[in-house]
Amino acid sequence: MTQLVTGKKTRFATAWLGGCSGCHMSLLDLDERLIELFQAADLLYSPIADIKEFPRQVDVTLVEGAVANVDHLELARQIRERSHIVVSFGDCAVTGNVTSLRNRLEVDDLLSMVYREGPGREPRGREGDGILPALIPRVLPLHQVIAVDAFIPGCPPDPDTIWEAVSALLHGAPVRLKQEMRYFG
């Protein structure tokens, strides 16, 4: 499935669920290693590429962010169906992290506190309008929604950690991070 094994480029994707995009910023911090990455892989879907639908037969997908709303649920399931290897990319995907801090509140109370009773005018579009995706009752780490094959902890993961994991995946090897690359936070 990888270039080294089959001679073909790895079909690579990244996705962004409930997170701050910091993990993608850290991915871009691979700097010149990005050239090496895209010599070995084709980027088929990513928040940094304008592609509307998650493609089929992806080899490796990195998923940033926790599962916080119905759109995330749908995309996560689609990713699992269409990817050979799914990687939880960063603490929000791995643990729920900051995104899941709202889990101690009821969704309706949360929306009231943050939006309905917040300063200024109430934003247009309620969940019932179908404009905003409805929040699920509890924010979940990715592996509690779909099966996940590898985990890259960190908030965000250090570029060296990302490279360690991604280069292993490009070689068709399992992700085995060293202790100093396994820290949450």
Provide the binding-site residues for another protein, judged by CB under 8 A: 88, 91, 94-98, 100-101, 103-104, 138, 141, 143-144, 148, 151, 153, 155, 177, 179-180, 182-185
* Cα–Cα distance for residue pair 69/72, rounded to 1 Å: 5
CB closer to another protein, 33 vs 183: 183
CB closer to another protein, 79 vs 177: 177
Compute the least distance from the CB of residue 41 to another protein, in Å: 23
Q: What is the 3-state secondary structure (H, E, C) of 93-140?
A: HHHCHHHHHHHHCCHHHHHHHHHHCCCCCCCCCCHHHCCCCCEEEEEE
Compute the least distance from the CB of residue 177 to another protein, in Å: 7
CB closer to another protein, 65 vs 96: 96
| Tally of residues, the chain | 185
* Cα–Cα distance for residue pair 45/3, rounded to 1 Å: 19
Compute the least distance from the CB of residue 121 to another protein, in Å: 30
Give 60's strand partners: 12, 85
Compute the least distance from the CB of residue 77 to another protein, in Å: 19
CB closer to another protein, 45 vs 163: 163
